[in-house]
Structure 1
Amino acid sequence: MDVVLHIGAHRTATTTFQAYLAANRAALGRMGIAVWGPKQTRDGLLTGVIPIESARPPQEQLDRARARVAINIARERRAGAKVLVISDENMIGAPRRCLRQGRLYPDIGQRLARFAHAFDGQVTRAHLTVRSHDAFWASVVSYSIARGNRVPDRAALEALAAAPRLWRDVVLDVACALPGVELSVMPYEIFGGLPERVLEHMTGLGAMPRAHARDWRNQGPGLGQLRRIVGERGGDPARLPEGADKWQPFDDAALRDMREAYADDLFWLRAGAEGLAQLTEETGPVKTGTTPRPDQRKRGQDDGIEDRRLA
């Protein structure tokens, strides 16, 4: 039985994907696909992998989590599952921590190393979805405001735009934390609205159910909603622009730089990612060590790729 980890990232339609898995659980089970989503992973199954406040020391918490995971994986194997898909983006951290530190998943390596120990070498593949830096941070910022955080000032936004940590660094950390695990990277701009295609690539078992594949979940708030939320809690809605569309908090220069950084990330992935990962695009998997597409041999900006997907 293959064990597949879907680790996010946040704001890349992970909730839509998880809702699709849950809605099709019975059909997937008949195909030999078992699913653990947040309903399972956050109901005690993985408690202790990341230490919590407890009378038990961290190592004992981890050992107990490892035993629980082993028991449950064995149960899925005995039931005849061909593939176990485990989807929980919180394994790699929280967006609020990314915001506080102004960096993409600063402790993803340490976290995934603990999960690797908990799964005791049984993970076959891991899947990470990446998103253009400008759209990722805009969505994270908007979502954080909707959850009660303050509207960031210009200095904070400029710091995010200039953050030196890129998806390439995240991929390197994941590969180091999960040695021997096949790592696949998918662009949100291609797969964000196609959960069935994501699952096809994850499992390698052919066509997946189309039912509930277009049920959007957890979309980012628009400007009108954000202004209303800020006003209701006593803030100043005038700090946000007028309009009803999604908020783009970055100026043109920042957008250009962030999109160029993302284009560099994709260039590195297409060039083989130093043998550590494979990039999956519309044309299928690009194996490690292959050359970039002819139209992508030039490093730099790739505009307009975000417009096709939800926030």
Structure 2
Amino acid sequence: MSDLPPGFYLHLGLHRTGTGAFQQFLAANLEQLEEAGLTPAFSNRDGAGTETLRLRLPPPRHFGTDEMKRHGRQLARTLRRHGLNRRPAVLISEENLIGALNAVIAKAPYAAAGPRLDFLRQHLAAPVRRVVLVLRSYEAQAISVYRKRLEFRALQPFEHYAREIWPATRGWPELVADLRRALDPDEIVLFTHEDRPSRSAILRALCPELPEAGWDESAAPVNASAGDAACFALLEAHGAGRKLSPDEVAAIIRDHAGAAAPRPLIDLPDAVLEAQRDRYRADLQRLADMPGVTLRRPG
């Protein structure tokens, strides 16, 4: 049994930063985590393994309407069914708490994160101790999300969305400020996807009282982005009116792995992409200077 302070420990993504792999890691170490006095509660959006919780928060259009009463009852029911307000220490891993995948490719990504998390916090019976986010460079995350969304529907070329979302009015410092206001955690810990933090490093950033060693990290990575050739094949299937099942999507991605695409899927000037990388680097420095925020970098 560890000396974890009672409360909630939240891993909130971002999307396309290895959330599914971290949740597989939690599933592989479920017994050990529970023996340490921590209750892991996580979704399985990738459909690749165990799931212990599925939280649904209100969409932006419902805030300020009578629909919020229904959402409140639904959330209270979910928390009660899983006993989360009765457990001393609870780790929740769910990237959709800050917004769905569709909230990423926007001029103001995750614009409703603040109200959504404030709504969640109102239903938690214990304080939020620590929040972990894995950040990713703006252009890399948007492109990865675009590739993922192509699995579900036909989209315009990425260049169309790039013209709409950049220059952006909101970035990761604004998102983190929203999290801090809504959740009032003891600490927010940030990693960068580019540094490839280990799953045990993310776990111990959330709960440093847990042991350093002895964790099973053998689970295979999940939910890799489709390559260019697979994305074009998905576009062709959607354009023909096909409704693809998850197995059919996986087969298309598998069959086109390593295949040459007829042209690049993303065709943007290097200067456009580099501007987003520069913004990301500057924003990481802003985040490192924020009180109550710890940016973990190697070295």
Identity %: 24
Q: 1:223 to 1:171 in 2, by over 3 A?
A: same
**How big is the shift at 1:245?**
11
Query: Are the aligned partners of 1:6 and 1:127 in contact in 2 as well (CA < 8 Å)?
Result: yes
Select 2:53's aligned residue among 41, 46, 67.
41
Q: 1:232 to 1:213 in 2, by over 3 A?
A: same
Alignment partner of 1:202 is 2:206: yes
Q: 1:244 to 1:21 in 2, by over 3 A?
A: farther
Query: Are the aligned partners of 2:138 and 2:280 in contact in 1 as well (CA < 8 Å)?
Result: yes
SS of equivalent residue, structure 2 residue 134: strand
Alignment of 1:1-311 (within 5 A): 1-38=6-43, 39-42=51-54, 46-47=55-56, 49-50=57-58, 57-59=67-69, 61-62=71-72, 65-66=75-76, 69=79, 72-77=83-88, 83-99=89-105, 101-152=106-157, 154-192=159-197, 194-204=198-208, 205-213=210-218, 215-234=220-239, 243=261, 248-270=266-288, 272-273=289-290, 275-283=291-299
Query: Are the aligned partners of 1:146 and 1:229 in contact in 2 as well (CA < 8 Å)?
Result: yes
Query: Are the aligned partners of 2:7 and 2:126 in contact in 1 as well (CA < 8 Å)?
Result: no
SS of equivalent residue, structure 1 residue 150: coil
SS of equivalent residue, structure 1 residue 41: coil
Q: Aligned-pair RMSD on alpha carbons?
A: 2.9
TM-score under structure 2 normalisation?
0.78
* Cα deviation digits, residues 136-174 of structure 1 (max 9, x gap): 111011111122131335342233332231111111111
Q: 1:207 to 1:250 in 2, by over 3 A?
A: farther
Query: Are the aligned partners of 2:200 and 2:217 in contact in 1 as well (CA < 8 Å)?
Result: no
Q: Which has the higher contact order (CA 8 A, sep 6+)?
A: 2
**How big is the shift at 1:244?**
9.7
Partners in 2 of 1:85 and 1:155 — Cα distance? 39
- Give unmatched runs, 5+ long, in structure 1: 78-82, 236-240, 284-311
Structure 1 window deviating more from structure 2 (114-123 vs 12-21): it is 114-123
**How big is the shift at 1:5?**
0.8
Q: 1:18 to 1:208 in 2, by over 3 A?
A: farther
- Give unmatched runs, 5+ long, in structure 2: 1-5, 44-50, 241-258
Partners in 1 of 2:158 and 2:95 — Cα distance? 28
* Cα deviation digits, residues 233-282 of structure 1 (max 9, x gap): 336xxxxx954999545320111100000001111122x21x14221222
* Cα deviation digits, residues 215-247 of structure 1 (max 9, x gap): 101111111111111122336xxxxx9549995
Q: Which runs of 4+ in 1 moved over 4 A?
A: 244-249
Partners in 1 of 2:158 and 2:276 — Cα distance? 18
TM-score under structure 1 normalisation?
0.75
Query: Are the aligned partners of 1:185 and 1:277 in contact in 2 as well (CA < 8 Å)?
Result: yes
Q: 1:60 to 1:145 in 2, by over 3 A?
A: closer
1:293 aligned residue: none
2:48 aligned residue: none
